[in-house]
Amino acid sequence: MDTIRVQEISQIDQRTLGITWTDGKKSALDVVMLRRKCPCAACIDEWSHEPRIKPEDIKDTVRPVKVESVGLYALTIHFNDGHRTGIYTFKYLRELATPS
Ligand SMILES: [Zn+2]
């Protein structure tokens, strides 16, 4: 089975990250939403899967400073609030994305 991967990452505007996928689909992702949906163990309880952060804990001014790929299946996003432990799998990003 072909795995859909990220082909290209772009910055649509101050607050929106654009992803072009290898199947040609494009996604627009709100960066503040991405930070609020961070899947790392500090943000989501590993056992109950309940969020450990509240949306209001994350400021609207949070922005990614760096996006790096992890193997061929995920991205890590370094945010300007110092948070960088979230591993966003491509599958997860597709779920979060609003089709555009
Ligand atoms: Zn996190």
The domain ranges of the chain are: 6-99
d(CA 3, CA 77): 21
d(CA 34, CA 14): 14
Q: Which CATH number fits domain 6-99: 3.30.2020.30, 3.10.105.10, 3.40.50.150, 3.40.190.10?
A: 3.30.2020.30
Which two structure tokens, joined as six digits, stand for 34? Answer: 């991405």
Quick check: 100 pLDDT over 70?
Answer: no
What's the 23 CA to ligand 1 centre distance in angstroms?
Answer: 28
What's the 29 CA to ligand 1 centre distance in angstroms?
Answer: 17
Quick check: 50 pLDDT over 90?
Answer: yes
Which two structure tokens, joined as six digits, stand for 46? Answer: 């590993």
Q: Give the number of other CB atoms < 10 A from CB of residue 75.
A: 21
Quick check: 9 pLDDT over 80?
Answer: yes
Quick check: 98 pLDDT over 80?
Answer: no
Mean predicted lDDT score pLDDT of the chain? 93
pLDDT digits (tens, 9 = 90+) for 13-41: 999 999 999 999 999 999 999 999 999 99
What's the 49 CA to ligand 1 centre distance in angstroms?
Answer: 13
The model's confidence at residue 3, banded by pLDDT at 50, 70 and 90, is confident
pTM (predicted TM-score):
0.91
Tell me if 98 sits within 8 A of 8, measured CB to CB.
no
Distance of CA 21 to the CA centre of its chain: 14
